A and B are shown apart, each in its own frame.
Chain A
Amino acid sequence: MDLTQANLLEMRQIRKTFPGVTALDRVDFSCRQGEIHGLIGENGAGKSTLVKILAGAYHADGGEIVFDGENRRFTSPHDAQQAGIGIIYQEFTLLPDMSVADNIFLGREILLHGFVNHHHMRTEALKILDRLGGNIRAQQLAGQLTVAQQQRVEIAKALSLDARLIIMDEPSAALGGHELDMLFEIMRSLKSEGVTLIYISHRLSEIFEICDRVTVLKDGERVGVKFVAETDESELVRMMVGRDFEDVFPPLSEQANEHVVLKVGNLSCGEGVQDVTFDIRSGEILGIAGLAGSGQTELVRAIFGADSEVKGDIELNNEPVHISSPKRAIQAGITMAPEDRKTHGLLLDMSVGKNITLPIVKRFLRFLGLSSKKETETVERLIANLDIRITGHDQKVGQLSGGNQQKVVLAKCLGCEPKVLLLDDPTRGVDVGAKFEIYRLIRDLANNGAAILFISSELPEILGMSDRILVLSRGRLMGILDGKQATEERIMELATGTNSQVEAIGEAVHHG
């Protein structure tokens, strides 16, 4: 790379706060013309927020953006597009029932005498698609394409706008090995044409393979910028995590409890979970590991009765139970903290108190109706137990920080006094301090006799928290490891069926 090149993009002192959380705190970020610039950081480090500000989807609360020598303020995605900035999101934005050409020129249809000129649009679309390769026809429906092909159409859409800076937000998450190679080929050819690329990924191996430089974010601040040639993976991991993980986890349970609380036999649910058998004892934390989307969430949802078409046997305290709905699960003593607390866990516009008692409100029923005294007692006890920081019971959950929201989810689970607790990534998007509190809480619950299934997208968390670790791959059980002896390498071997240490380190610092 030509180091004398001027910066195409400079973002200075960018600030952004959401209610209850500072997403970006005076972040500087710059790209040189024609480079591929990696952007990495833990969950919630602020990567997506930063690029969304750049793409005009969010407005910064402060700071300035200089693009191509001009001071810019993008007030809408359209603004940013006009300036030559394209973004490819994790979730694609193609309309499945429209043709590839129509998708590429959506909102900017090429007209002839006031009518849409399909012929011209097809030829223009083909011209761009040819640059990207991959055998896509312009008149194909977008919904019929593979994920990799759809991604290529997204890139074509950006190029059709003469984008000079293209942001890719975790494009590799959904791609297989060969497709990833093709993507890198496209990125290199775009680079040779002078297009600048920002590449977000949680896989460090990819950063080293494709990027020139890399910026590391942590907790909304920029930790540093490195040339990939001058750094290594362990340095980047340290920058991202900021500490050694070993100290933060509470000790594993000492004596093995023999009482099996939950026994799952040959559990299957659609494509996601296939023939999984395991059991979990009282006081035990069983971690569930695997690559993203390997069936972890589907497994706990199946146990919780959240999805239909579940097959298999579930025994609770040696009694077979039939769990056909979450209602039955809660009655039987199983509760779940769902993966996405905002859309599945909490009613954001409702008060903290009402959220906590939602599953158990019937318990406060007296002769004359609900007893608000009993309810308040319960809410206060749980808020104190979990040290939830709020201004009052009536505060709306949506106003709390991520960590406190997650504690409300846990309080809601605990209110049900469960025998089995299913925790689906309970520290996702939670700041570091709250993470440590949540670790301690989970261990306390286990020590009090609960059986806990624990999913995390961060492998070090699984290793630090679990008494045993169950590894899934494509919905199948690959093995159960002892928590004291498991290593990242061993888990990744099982999760991928290969022996790739590089991938293991990449997965260790998961995406955000």
Chain B
Amino acid sequence: MKAEESSLRGDTFSILERGGIYIALVLVLVSAAILSPAFFKPSNLFNVLRGAAPLGIVAVGQTIVMLGGGIDLSLAGVMALTTVVVADITQGQNISLVPALALVFGIGIAVGFLNGLLVTKRRVPPFIATLGVAILLEGVRFVYTKAAPSGSIPPLVRFFANEAVGPVPTNLIIFFLVVAGFLFVTHKRPFGRHIYSTGANREVARLSGIDVDRVTLLTYVICSTLAVLGGLVLAGFIGYADNYLGRGYELDSIAAVVIGGTSFAGGSGGIGGTVVGVLLLTMLFNIVLLLSLPIEYQLVVKGAVIIAAVALYSFRTNRN
């Protein structure tokens, strides 16, 4: 009797816990409709989705790192450096875009290697390693720009970040391609299994013949590479380079991942939750704007959502 009751309660709870994020998304949509009818105007929805793409792209990278048991605080630094370098080298011209892209992706991969090597070879805790790298990147950027970024973003980048194919924003398509790539890797490639098992229990993974250091290193490289892509999409969307572009994306991406239910300790979670987490955050920001509340309220809302999500998920851990 008692066992049945508790298992019934467990089921209700696990529906809430697995579906909680989707329920939250619906609730936000409904309250948006009530609070601000302007939200559902096609032009606004288009803007919301377009605004969600840069965060979405880097949040995919963050998800990969966090599934593997790490965290990347340096991705905002990579985004910012990407925008100023591209603006400076191209000076807003398509002609020198190719070398500029080669350079920024090179930088991204190098930063990923640096993070990954610090974490695997030097055993630096990921939080500290990537924080150090983030600060380093900020310094490099200020030295490079002398704190006054110049130039602008070439039209081609702006096109990919800003236009639409029919009703769908181009940068959203890029985001979906990244998500599809993630799904392919996690479901159809051994590497996906390796990431999950490395995050769940590094020693078990190692004793199962997985090169865990290589797996970890690659998660950081992928994340930094996606940070470059996210930086380009963001810069194209905004249209110019300044000192603040990309700021806060490291924490926002972590927030989206955590809201999406990926474990902070690694090994469990997935991309579906992260996508919803990204949409949720972006929509909430948008609603704050539509209600003509001061922009500072975005922070209040963001904080509240993160706390609510984490409090819900920690039930699960406590129960086990």
In the assembly, what is the distance between CA of A404 and CA of B92, in Å?
64
Q: Is B102 an interface residue (CB 8 A)?
A: no
Structural contact, B211 and A325, CB atoms closer than 8 A: yes
> Does A464 reach chain B (CB closer than 8 Å)?
no
Given contacts A325-B211, A359-B208, A361-B193, contact A370 B187 (CB under 8 A): yes
- Name which of B135-143, B194-202, B232-240, B248-256 contacts chain A: B194-202
Residue count of chain B within 8 Å CB distance of chain A: 22
Q: Are A358 and B205 in contact (CB under 8 A)?
A: yes
B188 in contact (CB, < 8 A): yes
Distance between Cα atoms of A330 and B201 in the complex (Å): 19
Closest 4 CB pairs of A and B: A369-B188, A330-B209, A327-B209, A358-B208
Determine whether A336 belongs to the interface, using a CB cutoff of 8 Å to chain B.
yes
For the complex, give the distance between the alpha carbons of A350 and B263 in Å.
14
Query: Once the chains bind, are B193 and A349 in contact (CB under 8 Å)?
Result: no
**What DSSP secondary structure best describes chain B's contact surface?**
helix
* Category for how many chain A residues contact B: 20 to 34
Q: A197 to B203, alpha carbons, bound, how many Å?
A: 38
Most buried by A among B187, B189, B201, B211: B201
Alpha-carbon gap, A329 to B208, bound state (A): 10
Q: In this assembly, does B268 line the interface, its C-beta being within 8 Å of a C-beta of chain A?
A: yes
Q: How far is the CA of A343 from the CA of B194 in the complex (A)?
A: 17
Closest B-chain residue to A362, C-beta based? B190
Kindly state the separation between the CA atoms of A349 and B211 in the bound complex, as whole angstroms: 21
A428 at the interface (CB under 8 A from B): no
A326 touches B (CB below 8 Å): yes
Give 15 CB contacts A-B under 8 Å: A325-B206, A325-B211, A326-B207, A326-B209, A327-B209, A327-B211, A345-B204, A349-B267, A358-B205, A358-B210, A359-B209, A365-B189, A365-B190, A369-B184, A369-B187
Q: Report B's interface with A, CB cutoff 8 A.
A: 184, 187-190, 193-194, 196-197, 200-201, 203-211, 267-268
Q: How far is the CA of A416 from the CA of B210 in the complex (A)?
A: 13
- A329-B200 contact in complex given A349-B268, A370-B187, A370-B189, C-beta closer than 8 Å: no
Q: Is the CB of A369 within 8 A of B189?
A: yes
Q: Is A338 in the interface zone, CB < 8 Å from B?
A: yes
Q: Give Cα A369 to B180, complex, Å.
A: 14
Which of A327, A338, A354, A416 has its CB near the most chain B CB atoms (within 10 A)?
A327
What's the least CB distance linking B227 to chain A, in Å? 26
Q: Say yes or no for A306: interface residue by CB 8 A criterion.
A: yes
Given contacts A347-B205, A370-B187, 18 further A-B pairs with CB under 8 A are A304-B207, A325-B206, A326-B208, A330-B208, A343-B203, A344-B207, A345-B204, A346-B204, A347-B200, A347-B201, A349-B200, A354-B197, A358-B204, A358-B208, A358-B210, A361-B194, A370-B188, A412-B208
Please, which residues of chain A bring their CB within 8 A of the CB of B267? 347, 349
CA distance in complex: A370, B184 (Å): 10
For the complex formed, measure the closest distance between the CB of A305 and the CB atoms of chain B, giving whole angstroms. Answer: 10
> Which residues of B sit under 8 angstroms from A362, Cβ to Cβ?
190
Closest A residue to B213 using CB positions: A325
Q: Check if B190 sits within 8 Å of A361, measured CB to CB.
A: yes
Selected from B188, B204, B210, B211, the residue in CB contact (under 8 A) with A344 is: B204
Known: A327-B210, A331-B209, A350-B197. A368 touches B204 (CB 8 A): no
